[in-house]
């Protein structure tokens, strides 16, 4: 039995509190500087700013008209109009200008007449005014010495206006905290210096975490410096930290290389230089985070994998930068969502799971993105994060869970959620939709055709891509819809597409058809159960009388055409079944197997949605057609046509 | 009867649609440029970006351990451990590194033992592995040619990482739309060039709208240029527009001066140069907005008052910038709030009313800020905006209304709402609270002591500042609390403070006490009914046997001490009653009338709130005490003490 070290790990909150206390982070005082207003946008006030002058600085007209003494007009009425001589008891005045001495009201241009008799102009007033009517009084907006903005304010456009109105032309702000980033790892090279062939061969590993960290620090008001990559040697790492501290860094981020033992290096080096408070936190991804204090300054060992690194940055670095600047960390909005599938999780560790989201029929559906800590696209594609608590074994499908939103709710409201079969044209369709109708988007999750119909049946998506061949009559999708769906639904042709066998470059094994897949020298890569491509394969195998047990690799599954192509390109398999577009994309030979229908299955009730109308409009556009055709392997003859209507049952 | 032009005005939505259609804004194509990743943060992608390489680019180890062929391990078990020779059938491998050719699994370091016999090292494996275990397969994250990010993406930190992982080192982004800002008005001078004495005298009007506009445009991804101030002459304005268009401006903002007829100039000039589509919109503030098209480009006449200008900027300029960049405008989150007081509104015009917000006992309370279009502090102080629809005459107090949030909800959750009497120490307390406990804040609205107790009774605030003198026994606050509140409440001393008469500089009328206020040559400025200062005045007048009708200006009211001081400083009145700190702030003579108690009234149920505990902690701090004392006119002997507990009834 191995000891379960996770139970001894601190939670992110516990770890943060411990680290912050040792750092005296709450009483830490950043240096201040004065900046002129035009340079102050998004800087953070270090102290309260008081008005230097009152605003308005004088009693001024709030309207265009004439300035009068209200008391002079008390007798005015429509029956008995009052005449005041202009230039004497009444004075033309423009909005914003100061009232002449002794006057206290303005009569609007629209409410008076004038008359010229000889050299003299008269204002004719039919209604009394009252003191201070249409006057902006001195100090009405702010009085000199009043506080305009409190400390910790991140200055926005309107704040600039309020400061200017109060006669404040420069403001005291916190000097941006200096954060030094030390990437480490012996095979790591800065991204810009890596040669493409070395990257592809894995001879060097590109360093791009520092790009992410720098951007996060910039957004948090800090000043990031990326130091040169340090090899995985304790003395080199120690020297880099010491130099950064000598150079005045307020905080140091040590980004672990991916080499064996590099985490231990981090902790050992930090122990030798200062104090390690936390070595590992109870959250996945993010566990191998190290929190230390060296010479009174915070040093954090951030894990190498980007998803782990992101969590360490958010939980510790961004919190500390906010606290130093006396700002509250803006927490993400939380909503309830229903997971599309069960989310098992290991008890003892909190898990953060990134998801795509769709607002379907009033409830929010969450579709998990791949969990790997190295899956950087899960960071850029995520709409939200589900936190599965430490004491939980996960969530069941359909059981509502809390999701932190990563995008504004309006983006969510404008998104159509497609769950089902994968085709590259869906991504392209999303891009065209966004370009044509900003505000709408197509979010798609790839679970295979049958999975899409199941999601539709549960009301979890707006549409599903499907290419399910019925083995009996050779017709696509209709029988599967009849068997699985209950509500009225339309079947819309997205594209016809060519399926075929992808082989290694040059097709060295001379694979020329489905029957060759059963050869003992051919390693096949399959698609997952429930995918239309798998159904197609089984259909063809059955019609040729070939047993799936005779196919080497039949149980080795991938989830998308592109991943099948990648498996073949990498030599992991000799052949796979996929669309021609995937073969074209990676330059692989393609042995045609046949054309198939790739349709969108759309419940009738979603057709009236504005976003769906926009999507249909884009599908039927010339520009979609042309782009699809340019990808090769697609037919667009019936693209956009409703080819069948299902009445439901 | 004047024609009501408002009914013929377009709503902001109607006006925007009309303008955008004439501009062909939906199909407008901004120029593109390529930028390197380190410069791409917050830029907006002009087209979909595809992966240039797969990620991972090879089958790589997901763990530190040994790489093997899974098939070789199938016989391994604890009873019958398998021995593989290292360097031959098993190879040490570090996370992220490529698997040697032909191998397809990694056994974690933790799950194996090694043995060295002579020169040969053996891995001892007690458990079979399966193909691709602990391997990140080529293309697992993304496959070359797949779309990484769609067009219209505003690039964030994680997007940079995804792009880098996909081998994309520079990205196509929209060139920032160039927006030229033309301030106009004959007396307008750039803020930086205005002399203080000219500003105070109103001889020049400072121009700072362009500072606000530039910042808004920067935030929206545009590139703002502020042109020199143009005098109010049609030819000068026309020349400025023509020159800006010649210089390549994508959009022009003409900011009306405040002079008479300047709006008409704007419309006339634009009509002579191109087409005016909209002249006035049915929203207050914001009505005098002008939307035009000149030489195919958008030109907008933005009103001069900052609150109106802000609405025109948000409704038209920011929407257009977003549309051009294929982004959706991020709408503000809406919540229901209960207005503290009735909000009457003129039918026929939509009204946008800025409010402060507090989350009190589970519901959100909205306290309106001053409505004036020139009240720039209403922009910087607002927590939210209430839109009163065009067909409504307003809302009743207590009737829930929709509020657009201007701050994150977490800021709202951390705010204590004080409604009641005004004292400068409250603003100072807020600043100290934020510095000491970022995340908490004190929001205060000034409605007088009695108004505060009313708000407490209705459960609309967390605390109230109060200094209500009981005329019978001369005791502060207790009787008022007993009369007005039902729930258990504590009375906490904030400060003792000195009230007195403020007079014009030099006290030219020799005002030496309350009795002088009844003199016929003295113009008084009063505080509003229900304020503690008004109660104090009435108490003193009564004890001297002076009737309020004998006080000239008794009915001329202001809402804060500072506004009373400003009224006296400006010569609007000769005397007013206020705290010494207000006199000190503006350098006015002060005739002491007496010390009074300024207390905080806090329902017992709110004492346990974390934010309230933080507030009490700050009130009792040395630093609060010192700052208060430095303001002058305050006593702090009992500051922070609970001086009375009310059991409720």
Tens digits of per-residue pLDDT, A88-112?
Answer: 999 998 888 889 988 999 998 888 8
Confidence of residue A232 (pLDDT cuts 50, 70, 90): confident
- Picking from A89-98, A489-498, B444-453, which range would have the lowest pLDDT averaged per residue? A89-98
| DSSP string across B380-431 | HH-SEEEEEPTT--EE-TTS-EEEEESS-HHHHHTEEEEEE---HHHHHHHH
Asked if B253 and B309 count as a contact pair (C-beta separation under 8 A), the reply is no
Closest CB from B219, B304, B586 relative to A157: B219
Judge if the upstream peptide bond of residue B308 is cis by omega within 30 degrees of 0: no
pLDDT, tens digit (0-9, with 9 covering 90-100), for A182-205: 998 877 888 888 888 888 777 778
- What DSSP element (H or E) covers B218? helix B209-219
Contact between B151 and A414 using a beta-carbon 8 Å cutoff:
no
If you average pLDDT over every residue of chain A, what do you get? 91
Nearest by CB to residue A376, choosing from B141, B206, B424, is B141
Supply the mean pLDDT for chain B: 91
CB A44 within 8 A of CB A173: yes
Please tell me which of the candidates A304, A411, A427 has its beta carbon nearest to residue B147.
A427
Please name the residue that has the structure tokens 């600047």.
A325
- The mean pLDDT of B234-258, rounded to a whole number, is 91
What pLDDT score was predicted for residue A174?
97
Asked if B162 and A379 come within 8 Å (Cβ–Cβ), the reply is yes
> Do B427 and A147 lie within an 8 Å CB cutoff?
yes
Instruction: Say whether pLDDT at A260 is over 70.
Output: no
Instruction: Tell me the pLDDT band of B259, cut-offs 50, 70 and 90.
Output: very low
CB of A214 closer than 8 Å to CB of A194: no
Dist. CA B146–CA A560, nearest whole Å:
11
Residue B251 has pLDDT above 60, yes or no: yes
Domain residue spans of chain B: 5-26+177-324, 32-55+140-174, 60-136, 334-413, 446-646
Rounded-to-integer distance, Cα B183 and Cα B207, Å: 8
Out of A174-178, A180-184, B93-97, B477-481, which region has the weakest mean confidence (pLDDT)? B93-97
Do A202 and B435 make contact, defined as CB atoms within 8 angstroms? no
Question: What distance in Å separates the CA atoms of residue A371 and residue A363, rounded to the nearest whole number?
Answer: 24
CATH code 3.90.105.10 for A32-55+140-174: yes
Most confident of A138-142, B373-377, B519-523: B519-523
User: Considering only alpha carbons, which residue of chain A is nearest residue B429?
Assistant: A150
Q: Is B459 exposed, middle or buried (0-12, 13-18, 19+ CB in 10 A)?
A: middle
Tokens for B207?
């121009």
Q: What is the pLDDT of residues A435-463, one digit of tens each?
A: 999 889 999 998 889 999 999 999 999 99
Which H helix or E strand runs over B171? Answer: strand B170-174
Q: Which residues of A482-508 are buried (b: 16+ CB within 10 A; e: fewer)?
A: eebbeeebbbbbbbbbbbbbbbbeebe
Between chains, do B55 and A409 touch, taking CB under 8 Å as contact?
no
The Cα A260–Cα A472 span in angstroms is 55
Given this model, what pLDDT does residue B264 score? 62
User: Is residue A567 within 8 Å of residue A523, measured between CB atoms?
Assistant: no
SS (H, E, C) A604-633: HHHCCCHHHHHHHHHHCCHHHHHHHHHHCC
- Cβ-Cβ contacts under 8 Å, B109 against chain A: 260
Integer CA distances (angstroms), B421 to B24, B233, B627, in order: 54, 48, 20
**A267-271, A293-297, B291-295: which has the minimum mean pLDDT?**
A267-271
More confident residue, B439 or B177: B177
**Is-same-fold flag (A5-26+177-324; A459-646)?**
no
> What are the beta bridge partners of residue B489?
B603, B646
Which residue from A142, A201, A431 is facing B377, i.e. has the nearest CB? A142
Contacts of A442 in chain B (CB under 8 A): none
**Domain B334-413 fold:** Beta-clip (2.40.340)
pLDDT-derived band at B3, boundaries 50, 70, 90? very low
Q: 3-state DSSP call for residue B68?
A: strand
Tokens 């197509």, residue? A442
Q: Which of B95, B431, B434 sits opposite A258 (nearest CB)?
A: B95
Chain B, nearest residue to A140 by Cα: B563
Assigned fold of B446-646? D-Maltodextrin-Binding Protein; domain 2 (3.40.190)
The continuous run of DSSP H or E covering A114 comes out as strand A112-117
Residue A507 confidence (pLDDT) above 90 = yes
Total beta-carbon pairs less than 8 A apart between chain A and chain B: 363
Whole-angstrom CA distances from A465 to A443, B13, B197 are 12, 36, 71
Residue A4 pLDDT greater than 60, yes or no: no
Q: Does the beta-carbon distance from A96 to B191 stay under 8 Å?
A: no
% of chain A at pLDDT higher than 70: 98
User: Over the stretch A121-175, which tens digit does the pLDDT of each residue have?
Assistant: 999 998 999 888 999 888 889 988 999 999 999 999 999 999 999 999 999 999 9
Nearest to A150 among B60, B156, B430 (CB): B430
Helix (H) or strand (E) holding B197: helix B196-201
Q: Is A471 exposed, middle or buried (0-12, 13-18, 19+ CB in 10 A)?
A: middle
Cβ contacts (< 8 Å) between B96 and chain A: which residues? Answer: 205, 258, 304
Of A148, A160, A379, the CB nearest to B211: A160
Question: Is there a contact between A191 and B169 if contact means CB atoms under 8 Å apart?
Answer: yes
Nearest to A380 among B158, B306, B436 (CB): B158
Q: B164 vs A208: CB contact, 8 Å cut-off?
A: yes
Least confident interval from A115-119, A194-198, B161-165 = A194-198
pLDDT confidence of B52, banded at 50, 70, 90?
very high
The arrangement of secondary structure in A459-646, i.e. its CATH architecture, is: 3-Layer(aba) Sandwich (3.40)
Q: Which residues contact A26 (CB under 8 A, 6 or more apart)?
A: A20, A323, B436
- Structure-token pair, residue B371: 């409505």
Could you tell me where the DSSP H helices lie in A363-497? 377-381, 409-413, 424-436, 449-457, 478-484
Lowest average pLDDT, out of A475-479, B78-82, B608-612, goes to B78-82
With contact defined as beta carbons under 8 Å apart, do B23 and B323 qualify? no
Return the sign of the alpha-carbon dihedral for residues B501, B504, B507, B508: negative
Give A-chain residues touching B424 at CB under 8 angstroms.
146
Q: What is the mean pLDDT of residues B546-554?
A: 93
Nearest chain A residue to B329 by CA: give it. Answer: A439
Q: Which residue of B has its CA nearest to A204?
A: B97
Give me the interface pTM, i.e. the ipTM.
0.93
Pick the CATH number of B5-26+177-324 from 3.40.50.300, 3.40.980.10, 3.40.50.1000, 3.40.50.12780: 3.40.980.10
- What pLDDT does residue A94 have? 84
CA–CA min distance A247, chain B (Å):
23
Q: Name the 3-class secondary structure at A445.
A: strand
Q: Which residues of B touch A562 (CB under 8 A)?
A: 139, 143, 145-146
Comparing A593 with A200, which gets the higher pLDDT? A593
Give the number of other Cβ atoms within 10 Å of residue B32's Cβ.
Answer: 13
- H helices of A462-604, in order, are 478-484, 532-544, 561-569, 580-586
> From the CB of residue A542, how many other CB atoms can be counted at a distance below 10 Å?
12
At B257 the pLDDT is: 54
Asked if the Cβ–Cβ distance from A260 to B411 is below 8 Å, we say no
Q: Residue A177: is its pLDDT beyond 60?
A: yes
- For domain A60-136, the question of CATH label 3.40.50.700 is answered with no
- Percent of residues, chain A, with pLDDT higher than 90: 67
Mean pLDDT on B120-132: 90
Tell me the per-residue pLDDT of A26-74, one tens digit each, with 9 for 90 and over. Answer: 888 899 999 999 999 999 999 999 999 999 888 889 888 999 999 899 8
The helix or strand, by DSSP H or E, that contains position B625, with its residue range, turns out to be helix B622-631
Q: Which residues of A touch B411 (CB under 8 A)?
A: 328, 330
Angle, CA A482 vertex, CA A477 and CA A488 arms, to 5°? 100
pLDDT-based confidence at residue B4 (cuts at 50, 70, 90): very low
Chain B residues with CB inside 8 Å of A580's CB? none
Cis peptide before B146 (omega within 30 of 0): no
What is the distance in angstroms between the Cα of B460 and the nearest Cα belonging to chain A?
24
pTM for the full predicted model: 0.92
């Amino acid at each position: 039995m191995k000891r379960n070290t996770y139970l001894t790990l601190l939670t992110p909150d516990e770890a943060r509190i411990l680290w912050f206390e040792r750092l005296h982070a709450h009483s830490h005082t950043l240096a201040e500087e004065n900046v002129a207003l035009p340079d102050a946008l998004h800087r953070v006030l270090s102290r309260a700013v008081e008005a230097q002058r009152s605003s308005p600085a004088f009693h001024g007209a709030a309207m265009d008209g004439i300035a009068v003494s209200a008391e002079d007009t008390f007798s005015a009425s429509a029956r008995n109009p009052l005449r005041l001589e202009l230039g004497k008891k009444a004075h033309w005045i423009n909005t914003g200008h100061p009232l002449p001495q002794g006057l206290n009201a303005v009569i609007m241009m629209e409410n008076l007449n004038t008359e010229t008799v000889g050299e003299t102009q008269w204002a004719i007033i039919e209604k009394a005014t009252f003191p201070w009517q249409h006057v902006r009084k001195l100090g009405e907006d702010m009085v000199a010495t009043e506080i305009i903005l409190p400390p910790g304010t991140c200055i926005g456009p309107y704040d600039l206006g309020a400061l200017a109105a109060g006669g404040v032309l420069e403001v005291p702000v916190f000097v941006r905290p200096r954060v030094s980033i030390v990437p480490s790892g012996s095979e790591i090279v800065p991204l810009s210096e890596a040669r493409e062939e070395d990257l592809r061969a894995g001879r060097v590993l590109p360093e791009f975490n520092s790009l992410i960290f720098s951007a996060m620090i910039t957004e948090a008001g800090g000043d990031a410096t990326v130091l040169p990559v340090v090899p995985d040697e304790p003395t080199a790492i120690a020297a880099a930290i010491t130099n950064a501290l000598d150079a005045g860094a307020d905080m140091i981020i040590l980004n672990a290389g991916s080499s064996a033992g590099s985490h231990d290096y981090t902790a050992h080096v930090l122990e030798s230089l200062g104090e390690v408070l936390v070595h590992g936190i109870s959250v996945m991804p993010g566990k191998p985070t190290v929190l230390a204090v060296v010479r009174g300054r915070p040093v954090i060992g951030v894990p190498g994998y980007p998803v782990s690194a992101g969590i360490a940055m958010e939980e510790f670095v961004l919190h500390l930068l906010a606290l130093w600047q006396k700002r509250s960390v803006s927490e993400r909005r939380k909503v309830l969502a229903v997971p599309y599938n069960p989310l098992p999780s290991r008890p003892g560790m909190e898990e953060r799971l990134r998801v795509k989201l769709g607002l379907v029929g009033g409830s929010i559906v969450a579709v998990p993105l791949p969990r790997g800590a190295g899956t950087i696209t899960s960071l850029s594609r995520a709409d939200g994060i589900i936190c599965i608590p430490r004491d939980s074994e996960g969530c069941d499908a359909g059981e509502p869970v809390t999701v932190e939103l990563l995008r504004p709710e309006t983006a969510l409201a404008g998104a159509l959620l497609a769950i089902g079969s994968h085709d590259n044209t869906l991504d392209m369709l999303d891009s065209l939709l966004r370009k044509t109708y900003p505000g709408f988007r197509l979010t798609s999750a790839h679970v295979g055709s049958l999975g899409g119909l199941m999601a539709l049946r549960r009301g979890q998506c707006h549409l599903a891509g499907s290419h399910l061949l019925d083995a009996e009559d050779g017709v696509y999708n209709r029988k599967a819809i009849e068997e699985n769906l209950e509500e009225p639904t339309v079947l819309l042709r997205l594209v016809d597409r060519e399926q075929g066998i992808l082989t290694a470059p040059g097709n060295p094994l001379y694979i020329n058809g489905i029957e060759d897949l059963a050869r003992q020298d051919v390693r096949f890569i399959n698609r997952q159960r429930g995918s239309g491509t798998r159904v197609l394969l089984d259909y063809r195998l059955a019609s040729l009388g070939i047993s799936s047990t005779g196919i080497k690799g039949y149980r080795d599954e991938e989830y998308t055409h592109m991943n099948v192509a990648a498996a073949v390109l990498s030599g992991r398999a000799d052949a796979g079944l996929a669309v021609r577009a995937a073969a074209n994309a990676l330059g692989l030979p393609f042995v045609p197997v046949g054309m198939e229908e790739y349709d969108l299955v759309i419940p009738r009730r979603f057709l009236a949605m504005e976003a769906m109308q926009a999507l249909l409009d884009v599908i039927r556009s010339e520009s979609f057609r042309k782009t699809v055709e340019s990808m090769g392997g697609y037919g667009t003859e019936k693209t956009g046509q409703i080819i069948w209507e299902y009445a439901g049952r």
